[in-house]
Amino acid sequence: MQVVYHDVIIVGAGLAGLRAAVELSGKHDVAVLSKLHPLRSHSGAAQGGISAALGNAEKDSSEWHAYDTIKGSDYLADQYAVEVMCNDAPRAIIELEHLGVPFSRFEDGHIAQRPFGGHTKNFGEAPVRRTCYAADRTGHVCLHTLYEQAVKDKVFFYDEYQVLDLCMADGAVNGVVAIELKTGRFLLFHARAVMFATGGYGKAWKTTSNAFANTGDGLGIVLNNGIPLQDMEFVQFHPTGLYPLGILITEAARGEGGVLRNADGERFMERYAPTIKDLAPRDIVSRSIYDELKEGRGAGPMKDHVLLDLTALSREAIAEKLPEIESFSRIYLGIDPSVTPIPVSPTCHYAMGGIPTDVNGRVLIDAQGKELPGFWAAGEVACVSVHGANRLGSNSLLDLIVFGRRAGKDINRFLDRVLLKPRPLDTGALEKVSRKIEGLLGRKEGETVAAVRTDLQKVMMDKVSVFRNEHGLAAAVEELAVLQGRAAGIRVKDQSKVFNTEILEALELQHMVNYSKAVALCALKRQESRGAHSRDDYPLRDDENHLKHSLFFLKENGEAVYEQKPVDLSLASTRPEFVPKERKY
């Protein structure tokens, strides 16, 4: 067993992890561990843009941005955190520009901005052009730029290292156990600060825009260590996944003038959101699509999708602003979107819930906000909470950049002032992990990962997706308990040490069933409809009983514990616009 020391270990090389690493580099010795090559991180899949009230296209304000984010969240977002994010957004964009992000430009040279769902001017009056972009490859260019900066700044990268557990001493986090995929050897990474930026968890659903790597490993690891997850019931389905594959078709397609049509050719969003139509927030558009399908107005022989019509855009405009969409449509479906509408249906896209943190990325382990020393989280794995019950498009890249930087700054402060020496390393986590892997390798009988994962994805897709009810959720909770047992009894056929991805998939599967249980149980407990959580049996929002965050803990004996904690309504206490009210668009 080898022990490696760095002042800071960041797990995950997407935008949140890289932004924190850039902040720390030069000041402290920082290493980034990733199960992928950093440039394969899922931040690179974000297409349409990053929001900030720069006002390059028309008048805009950070206060309107905060209002839209809070209203979009169905009032579950913590209002102070939203204000922090939206106020910091213009600075964050200019910083990215200076680091080298090649944003698209207006004729006058300013960074170009486009409309995106739920972003409005003057507290909901009409759509506003707030989303900065680089064609439809915004996440891709941000990821490349920050990786270049991190390499230039001499951040250590451990590519293709899978983190398996946290190390703790005296009630604080002080390292991680990881496996080097190339050799199968275990390493103990000893550190004074550990940050998780491990991304989202859409792979538990059958249809998803998420990459294969998005198996919620960070969430599974924290649950195993008694740390809670927050607001797990809120899972966003993006309205326009390429049918039937679920690959993301950016919201920018609608921002640039595309419209959704049913089989009758009707622009149906005019009925559901008369003011902002196709640019309503994603929860509303996804539900509207499913309502159209339920009413028999779906397209195709199965009537199971709708059409994204870009034919009003010229071929040149599509090539310039939406080149990825043009190429996905051509490669996967053989169609030219300037001539033929694109078949789309909702696809599991984004997790609003995650590891509870404060605005500096410090991990909070109870409803009273107690911190876990030595541990930070940022990005999709974290729940600050700035997205509440539903995230607005293009607020995700912003969240990664703003809170990745803030976590980096906070770790710098912590390392400078609080702790001079690393706490001694406890090897207990390594022993636990090696026993688990030996158990997997030694098993002579058991199911394959694929069999259990397929059943998990079906349960989540059928019973824990856009529309939910007591009957389905209760059944899902029971089925997930069975799936937990099945996942623990997997048989791994590949016994080699070199690139044994079967072991990895078995471990990922165990994380997937654990966090899925959190999603299903919190969804069952939340007897109301709010944002992305829509209950047929409780169709209305219930602020009296449920204007609260959910917390989910997993005890050592596997028992699930559910608690609630208050939402921060600090802006609402001084400004009437921010008081929870009916959410009409």
CA–CA dist 266, 208 (Å, integer): 26
Closest approach, Cβ 74 to ligand SIN, in A, equals 17
- The annotation status of 62 as a binding-site residue, yes or no, is no
CA–CA dist 125, 120 (Å, integer): 6
Residue 351 phi, psi (nearest 5) = -105, 115
- The annotation status of 38 as a binding-site residue, yes or no, is yes
Closest approach, Cβ 386 to ligand SIN, in A, equals 13
Amino acid at site 93 = I
Instruction: Kindly tell me which of 143 and 181 has the beta carbon lying closer to ligand SIN.
Output: 143
Instruction: Kindly tell me which of 48 and 388 has the beta carbon lying closer to ligand SIN.
Output: 48
Closest approach, Cβ 540 to ligand SIN, in A, equals 27
Closest approach, Cβ 85 to ligand SIN, in A, equals 14
Q: Comparing C-alpha atoms, which of 225, 258, 220, 248 is closest to residue 510?
A: 220
Contact positions toward ligand SIN, by CB under 6 A? Answer: 46-48, 248, 250-252, 350, 393-394, 396
Closest approach, Cβ 250 to ligand SIN, in A, equals 3
3-class secondary structure, 513? helix
- The annotation status of 297 as a binding-site residue, yes or no, is no
- The annotation status of 16 as a binding-site residue, yes or no, is yes
CA count, 13 A, side-chain hemisphere, 373: 13
When CB distances to ligand SIN are compared, the closest residue is: 48
Q: Comparing C-alpha atoms, which of 194, 193, 191, 222 is closest to residue 424?
A: 191
CA–CA dist 514, 521 (Å, integer): 11
- The annotation status of 65 as a binding-site residue, yes or no, is no
CA 272 to chain centre: 26
Question: Cβ(42)–Cβ(227) under 8 Å?
Answer: no
CA–CA dist 257, 327 (Å, integer): 18
Closest approach, Cβ 145 to ligand SIN, in A, equals 17
Q: Comparing C-alpha atoms, which of 348, 352, 138 is closest to residue 245?
A: 348
Instruction: Kindly tell me which of 74 and 324 has the beta carbon lying closer to ligand SIN.
Output: 324
Question: Counting every residue, how long is the chain?
Answer: 585
- The annotation status of 349 as a binding-site residue, yes or no, is yes
Instruction: Kindly tell me which of 131 and 550 has the beta carbon lying closer to ligand SIN.
Output: 131
User: H helices of 298-394, where?
Assistant: 315-321, 323-328
Closest approach, Cβ 388 to ligand SIN, in A, equals 15
* DSSP single-letter state for residue 410: H
Q: Comparing C-alpha atoms, which of 532, 488, 556, 407 is closest to residue 24?
A: 407
- The annotation status of 398 as a binding-site residue, yes or no, is no
- The annotation status of 397 as a binding-site residue, yes or no, is yes
> How many Å is the Cα radius of gyration of the chain?
23
Q: Which two tokens stand for residue 350?
A: 């984004």
- The annotation status of 37 as a binding-site residue, yes or no, is yes
CA 311, 313, 316, 321 dihedral sign is: negative
Q: Which two tokens stand for residue 582?
A: 């009916």
Q: Comparing C-alpha atoms, which of 18, 7, 8, 3 is closest to residue 378?
A: 18
Instruction: Kindly tell me which of 73 and 225 has the beta carbon lying closer to ligand SIN.
Output: 73
With residue 72 as reference, give the H or E element that holds it: helix 62-72
3-class secondary structure, 493? coil
- The annotation status of 396 as a binding-site residue, yes or no, is yes
Q: Which two tokens stand for residue 127?
A: 């759509």
Closest approach, Cβ 247 to ligand SIN, in A, equals 12
Instruction: Kindly tell me which of 121 and 391 has the beta carbon lying closer to ligand SIN.
Output: 391
Q: Comparing C-alpha atoms, which of 224, 243, 245, 215 is closest to residue 456?
A: 215
Neighbours of 171 (CB within 10 A): 10
Closest approach, Cβ 258 to ligand SIN, in A, equals 12
Question: Cβ(556)–Cβ(229) under 8 Å?
Answer: no
- The annotation status of 238 as a binding-site residue, yes or no, is yes
Residues 258-292 as b or e (16 or more Cβ within 10 Å = b): bbbbbbeeeebbeebbeebbbbbbbbbbbbbbbeb
User: H helices of 107-166, where?
Assistant: 138-152
The pairing of strands 235-242 and 247-248 is antiparallel
- The annotation status of 319 as a binding-site residue, yes or no, is no
Instruction: Kindly tell me which of 9 and 142 has the beta carbon lying closer to ligand SIN.
Output: 142
Amino acid at site 48 = G
Instruction: Kindly tell me which of 209 and 457 has the beta carbon lying closer to ligand SIN.
Output: 209
Instruction: Kindly tell me which of 46 and 193 has the beta carbon lying closer to ligand SIN.
Output: 46
Catalytic residues: 282
Residue numbering of the annotated binding site for FAD: 12-17, 34-49, 217, 380, 396-397
- Annotated binding-site ranges: 12-17, 34-49, 217, 238, 250, 349, 380, 391, 396-397
Give binding residues for substrate as ranges.
238, 250, 349, 391
